[in-house]
Amino acid sequence: MTGDPTPRVRVHRPSGAAPRFDDAQPTTVVLVRHGETSMTVSRGYSGSSEPGPSLTEHGRRQAADAGELVCRVGHDLWGDIPFPSELICSPMIRTQETAGIIGDRIGLSPRIDEGFKEADFGAWQGLTAEQIESRWPGQLEPWHTEATVRPENGESIADVGVRVGAALDGLLAAGTDRTVVVVSHAVAIRAALGVTMGAQPGSWSQLRVAPASVSIIRLFHDRRHEIAVVGVPSEGWSRN
Classified as helix, coil or strand, 180 is strand
Report d(CA 55, CA 229) in Å as an integer: 25
Choosing from 86, 118, 155, 235, the catalytic residue is 118
Q: To the nearest 10°, the Cα dihedral for 167, 168, 174, 178? A: 140
**235 catalytic residue (yes or no):** no
Choosing from 34, 97, 185, 225, the catalytic residue is 34
**146 catalytic residue (yes or no):** no
Q: What is the 3-state secondary structure (H, E, C) of 17-81?
A: CCCCCCCCCCEEEEEEECCCEHHHHHCECCCCCCCCCCECHHHHHHHHHHHHHHHCECCCECCCC
Report d(CA 125, CA 154) in Å as an integer: 9
Catalytic site positions: 34, 118
